[in-house]
Amino acid sequence: MGKRPGVLYNPMVFVYWAVSVIGAALYVSWTLRVATFVAPSLTDESVGYVFGVLGGLLFALITWPFVLMLVWWGRRAYLRKVAVPVRATVTEAGHRVTHSSNNPFATHRVRLKVMFTHPGTGVEHWMKKEYAMFEFRRSTAKELLHRFPEGAELPMLVRGRAAGFDLALRPQWVDLW
């Protein structure tokens, strides 16, 4: 009986999650500090402070996903230079739509599970990722599932104990892989 494939565990994933959460808190804090410093000088101090807090918070919430996207693109570009490209086979693919009571938009979740052979060790591993997209990106979710059905090949990047899908889409908001 052959050896069962194992999941390639990268302990840095939890560090990336922590960096994302701490980075979000620091970014919102920094944005609020700048907005509450600038806004009172433009209008009446008490009104400016209120508008500074509200405007800074709104600005931070709108721009934080773009900051994460830039970090994701930079990380992916770095890994494309230093990691080994590998072709993985999709073993499971699924699409699920969830509705939340506090969110008017549905969330489309695409889950991909792949098997691949590690280029350094020759050992077979599996890995899975879940992509979450709001309703207005439903076509992107369906296209992702259509591009990578079960049995399809998916490009990956492997470097040491880290492996990730070589796709432009970023999975969850905390995932910087």
> What pLDDT, on the 0 to 100 scale, is given for residue 2?
47
- State the Rg of the chain over Cα: 20
Q: For residues 52 and 35, give the distance between their C-alpha atoms in angstroms, rounded to a whole number.
A: 5
Q: Please state whether beta strands 107-117 and 124-134 pair in parallel, antiparallel, or not at all (unpaired).
A: antiparallel
Asked whether the beta carbons of 110 and 92 are under 8 A apart, the reply is no
Over the chain (177 residues), what is each successive 10-residue block's mean pLDDT? Answer: 53 74 90 83 73 87 86 84 93 89 82 91 87 85 92 90 79 55
Which residue in 135, 134, 125 sits closest to 163, CA to CA? 125
pLDDT in tens, 153-164: 999 988 887 788
- Helices 12-42 and 45-82 pack at an angle, to 10 degrees, of 150
Q: For residues 168 and 20, give the distance between their C-alpha atoms in angstroms, rounded to a whole number.
A: 18
- Token representation of residue 95: 């699409």
- Token representation of residue 84: 């080994």
Asked whether the beta carbons of 157 and 85 are under 8 A apart, the reply is yes
pTM exceeds 0.75: no
